[in-house]
Structure 1
């Protein structure tokens, strides 16, 4: 028996298949990094009081080696305001010397826990993580120090 599918349905189905494949590959990458022991897990809380927090630290600082694989686990809690797209906080890595963004490190966070498989910048030096979503009147204070060692 031959089933006919119109072009619009075929395009939707093929698009969903591609999205599914990308999701599976991304999931496999995340799980392989996490299970292999190669990626270091770094947990950060983007809190509702417009502050980044790391358990056990009064002033949050992340220290990594250049090029080190990282599994960044971010927990985001909704503050007083958020973007129309539903993102409640941002997590962007800037070079301290010129405030330029590091490619691949401009993340938008939704409520709850999200994980990102990343590599630390190859260039040693001082960096800063900033929130890119106006999350409250205290938004300007939402940053943390990020140090890349050789």
Structure 2
């Protein structure tokens, strides 16, 4: 089956919110505040300086998506593109949908001309996703991630 990859639009906000809710439940057992999530998705789609979403469509249905945000690297004088909020519907997994999304991110990064690398984070226990990322040529970073809220 043919998969089309395209930038998300405001018409896709509902699907992106649904995917983010499903991903948060599946990976972290969390339920996200729907109003906050909807506003956050809409804000990113409305503000290209923050990043962008890509969606994968099959038979006119959105079956996968990811978000890209930017991190400036003074060491490299370029941007890292952070891949986040990755979701593919369970019935559509193992069909090359994430690979298609990732290759489009790389194509867009090459086109932008100032991208020095691609990064993402993954749950430590999500070995299936880790295997997918490694299959696509990504390697585990030597950095640990810390946060505060």
Q: TM-score range by the shorter chain?
A: under 0.3
TM-score, length-scaled by structure 1: 0.26
Larger radius of gyration: 1
Compare the two structures and name the one with the higher helix fraction: 2
Compare the two structures and name the one with the higher strand fraction: 1
TM-score, length-scaled by structure 2: 0.26
